[in-house]
Amino acid sequence: MVAINPSDIAIIIIVALVLFVGSSKIPELFRSMGRALGEFKKGRMEAEMEINQMQSQAQPTVQQNQQKTSPEELEKQIRDLQNQLDQMKKQQGTK
């Protein structure tokens, strides 16, 4: 059995690119891949920042709700949320 190293795979990919794409298009291809990767990283960072911001805003309200709610109020909230869920399921069922 022949073992293939990662460097062998890289060489095969480079040779395939030269054969199928052409040597003049390779820099342009890698440039566009670099831009796409940069956009991906930028989007991921923005999403992480937004999630962190939402979590930091939600924590004080959760702590306030935990201090103020009684068991009866929690049961009422659960019923309301279940009703909302049922309504959403009905809406999706009619589409």
What pTM does this model have? 0.42
Domain ranges in the chain?
6-69
Which residue has better confidence, 57 or 80?
80
Average pLDDT over every residue of 16-39: 85
Query: Chain-wide mean pLDDT for the chain?
Result: 84
Q: What is the DSSP annotation of 9-38?
A: HHHHHHHHHHHHT-TTTHHHHHHHHHHHHH
Minimum mean pLDDT range among 41-45, 66-70, 85-89: 66-70
Whether 66 shows a pLDDT value over 80: the answer reads: no
pLDDT at position 1, please? Answer: 61
